[in-house]
A and B are shown apart, each in its own frame.
Chain A
């Protein structure tokens, strides 16, 4: 079940959304999930847990960094922050995603296609 849910997104989509959220402001895991859900108007049914393997991958490739701190609710939380490398990666990802999205739209809306 879990696999199907993540497969609904294309590979790298979750990472991209995490990086974008973190670009706006550093956050801990739960806040990230809420942010992504709210921004997508709950259209993306991401299983909450799948965020964590993605975060670990980003940590490992040093696109984000993490720091333990105390939250507003006085809890010990790990706050993630995007790194310079993360920013560069995000920009590349977004531009390549936009190109891909454009291509897909052209295929799906043949009326706009110059070939017709």
Chain B
């Protein structure tokens, strides 16, 4: 008979047993009565002879039970009865743990999505590649081809680039879609199979613009084509060029970047006709985003790096004017590109802080449990005296702790699942295909369960020593107040630890908030307020050649005619600090004759701008002039540079104006003006040189028109939209304020601040409950003593000191330790949050004020209680 089947039989067994036992006692009673005893005596004698009926029943049942499990179940039921008796304690404990475990589960979910999980492709572990920005050599398509054909380490090398903001016209409607331009071998290198139709392959490419095929991602096929399988074979227009839809990618394949899921894939060989650069130009560093491939069996990443280094050395020697080679790192394809170290550091920081929260929660609950065990010491002593084993009592206490931690874990898990689901569909930057790749799965359940059990044991064992040492005789005799004499208790240490952890959290969140506030008010070198941006890619509407700058000029003039507009300017590609996009090029001093990248005088950011741009952007001109409409293709090449550029190359601003320098292609450029410094790609960057060239001399189809006006942005956007429509009804236009576009660069800092803020709040809450619990407990334990002191004439100040002195001492010690640790810990923050420095009097002061406030809030009620002691009624009680 299995124990499993027994469970169902059991209630019958138990009923039988009860019936049998009562019959037994009845029969014995009757026999005794028959022997002449009175019924009452007989009944008593029958029971005596039978022995402990409950115990007999229990033992008889135990025969049928699966012993450990069922006694644990019994413990659990007893524990839940105990907890129901003190609901305040139970709720506080469960909520504390739910918050702590929930925070950890959320952080784990994020870590799982960003760090632990690799790309969803077969054999991702042998997929290695170059990183964006690591080496400009691999950023051009021509160089990629050489890498693919000359390396000896990879089975094959694929590459991809962005094809963002492409107008996809299905014949019914034209919508802007974001895609990846991928090499023909992209899917084959990744070993992905199509969901529908086929992928494009290396054999489909026959040179520039030769492969008009497009593969849809499953998500885009689902949302825009409503899962219609007949789209395969259909033709769509991408920026007015016909492309055949050849297939749909499987749902789990979302491209090779974690943050950005494309809508479609197109051959990189065709990116030129959609507005990309010249694929044959080796210095065009916008041609390829990243390259990767599977290492051949037996090739180590170090060997591959050396091999790739050799190829780039060859390229540098062969094309000294176009190829600059630093060094190439080969790393596992993480999907995080150049952000990988930043993201990992951030996630590691979050994990650490969340771990601290859990530790603080455990310390908190540990001291609560210790206090509870002390309060229950009489009960425990009684049970010990009645013969319960210490092991059994400890198991009971641990069961209570684990029960609480499991309840807290379950609640925390549910909360974190909900939050993670929200995060996974969250679009942090509207309009951009950016998302957080989190998808909670079974791993999260196990993680939460493990955390719950570990923390349950962690705080459950705090009172163990207390119970093991307990001497039932002493306790029953003297009452639980007898052991208040110890100088430093476990509870004190736990409380100090918890306060220290809280101070760390408060310090880092204050540092982050300060950093964010500063970066919001720092000088960008332009004024984003009161500006509206119109992003227009003329390639989408089929413009090319001379029609591009002509149309752009018409747009500028049309915007100027809008009522209330103060200034209008245009900037090619992206304005500063938008989508972390920026182009840097080599420039040379006039006297340099060998224009190879190694001889470059600087690598400034390059912007192509129209006349009026500086006025529209709010960038102030320090010397010389800005551009005019005469600075066109037929005029001599001119430039406006920023202060850093001027000082670094020419020595000073004044010397810069009128001076000459050279571009990589040998063009002599004259500096006509100098503007203030600014931020170009990231808020955290060091001050960089920048140069502005007339857009008429460097035409590009993709540009933003900057309109400065003190008008309601909504109305202004409408007016601008109708102006563009008036010029070309088929031209898609993207309207945003500059501030809105800045959100991308502020995004990491915002997320960091938000996360730290939440964790800091949780830490503060935990320490309030911790201090409150400790203070309230010690006041209630010492009420009698306080009453006597008061009766003997102690002043209010002395009473408070006696009651709460210890709590305050712990608060001071803990805060000081925590502040020190926090200052050390926030160094990590500096890489994410602009200008995050803990050596800021405001932050230090803030932490001290915050901790003092926390202490006051937490001890207020206990202090009131201590002061309202009525010595008479107290002394009368005992």
Interface residues of A, Cβ cutoff 8 Å to B: 1-2, 5, 28-30, 33, 47-50, 52-53, 55-57, 60, 68, 75-78
Contacts and interface: CB of A to CB of B under 8 A. Distances in A.
Nearest to B63: A56
A76 B19 CA distance: 9
Interface stretch (B45-53, B312-320, B481-489, B715-723): B45-53
Interface in B538-552: none
A77 B56 contact: no
Contact of B50 (A49, A53, A57, A78): A49
27 contacts: A2-B51, A5-B51, A29-B20, A29-B23, A30-B23, A30-B24, A33-B24, A47-B49, A48-B24, A49-B21, A49-B50, A49-B52, A49-B53, A50-B56, A52-B21, A52-B59, A53-B56, A53-B60, A53-B63, A56-B17, A56-B60, A56-B63, A60-B1, A60-B64, A76-B23, A77-B23, A78-B16
A53 B23 contact: no
A56 B57 CA distance: 10
B28 interface: yes
A2 B16 contact: no
Contacts of A56: 17, 60-61, 63-64
B386 interface: no
A106 to B, nearest CB: 35
B69 interface: no
Contacts of B56: 2, 49-50, 52-53
B792 interface: no
Interface string B8-48: 00000000110111011001100000000000000000000
A54 B138 CA distance: 83
The 9 A-B pairs with the shortest beta carbon distances in the complex, nearest first, are A49-B56, A49-B51, A47-B51, A53-B59, A56-B63, A30-B27, A56-B60, A49-B50, A53-B60
B51 A78 contact: no
B5 interface: no
B55 interface: yes
A47 to B, nearest CB: 4
Nearest to A59: B63
Nearest to A34: B31
Nearest to A75: B23
Range, interface on chain B: 20 to 34
A9 to B, nearest CB: 14
Given A29-B20, A56-B64, A2 B27 contact: no
A56 B16 CA distance: 11
B494 to A, nearest CB: 40
A76 B51 CA distance: 23
A76 B15 CA distance: 13
Contact of B60 (A52, A68, A75): A52
A28 B28 CA distance: 13
Contacts, number: 66
B-side binding surface: helix, strand, loop or mixed? helix
Contacts of A29: 20-21, 23-24
A20 B51 CA distance: 23
B20 A2 contact: no
Nearest to A45: B49
Contact of B63 (A30, A47, A60, A77): A60
Interface string B257-279: 00000000000000000000000
B437 to A, nearest CB: 56
A91 B535 CA distance: 99
A105 B51 CA distance: 32
B414 to A, nearest CB: 42
A57 to B, nearest CB: 5
A55 B21 CA distance: 12
A60 B55 CA distance: 19
B117 to A, nearest CB: 51
B63 A57 contact: yes
Contacts of B55: 2, 49
Given A28-B23, A30-B23, A52-B21, 11 more contacts: A1-B51, A29-B21, A47-B50, A49-B50, A49-B55, A52-B59, A56-B17, A56-B61, A56-B64, A60-B63, A75-B23
A24 B62 CA distance: 29
A50 to B, nearest CB: 7
A48 B48 CA distance: 9
Contacts of A60: 1, 63-64
Contacts of A48: 24, 28, 49-51
A22 B1 CA distance: 23
B242 to A, nearest CB: 81
Given A30-B28, A75-B23, A50 B16 contact: no
B52 A52 contact: no
Contacts of A2: 51-52, 55-56
A1 to B, nearest CB: 8
Contacts of A55: 60
Contacts of A28: 20, 23
A33 B5 CA distance: 31
A2 B56 CA distance: 9
Contacts of B62: 53
B486 to A, nearest CB: 37
Interface in B818-843: none
Q: Which of A49, A52, A53 has the most chain B CB within a 10 Å cutoff? A: A49
Interface in B61-88: 61-64
Nearest to A58: B63
A19 B705 CA distance: 102
Contacts of B57: 52
Contacts of A53: 56, 59-60, 62-63
A90 to B, nearest CB: 19
A48 B56 CA distance: 10
A50 B51 CA distance: 8
Nearest to B387: A3
Contacts of B60: 52-53, 55-56
A116 to B, nearest CB: 44
A4 to B, nearest CB: 11
Contacts of B50: 47-49
Contacts of B53: 49
A70 to B, nearest CB: 12
Contacts of A50: 51, 56
Nearest to A5: B51
B26 to A, nearest CB: 8
A110 B56 CA distance: 41
Q: Which of A2, A53, A78 has the most chain B CB within a 10 Å cutoff? A: A53
A33 B23 CA distance: 13
A60 to B, nearest CB: 5
A20 B1 CA distance: 25
A48 B29 CA distance: 13
A67 B119 CA distance: 67
Nearest to A62: B1
Q: Which of B1, B53, B55, B59 has the most chain A CB within a 10 Å cutoff? A: B59
B17 A52 contact: yes
A30 B19 CA distance: 12
Nearest to A32: B24
B350 to A, nearest CB: 55
Nearest to B56: A49
B13 to A, nearest CB: 8
A57 B64 CA distance: 8
A107 to B, nearest CB: 33
Given A56-B63, A60-B63, A78 B52 contact: no
Contacts of A68: 16
Nearest to B62: A53
A87 to B, nearest CB: 20
Contacts of B52: 1-2, 49
Interface string B501-544: 00000000000000000000000000000000000000000000
Contacts of A78: 16, 19-20
Contacts of A52: 17, 20-21, 56-57, 59-60
A27 B49 CA distance: 20
Interface string B670-714: 000000000000000000000000000000000000000000000
Contacts of B51: 1-2, 5, 47-50
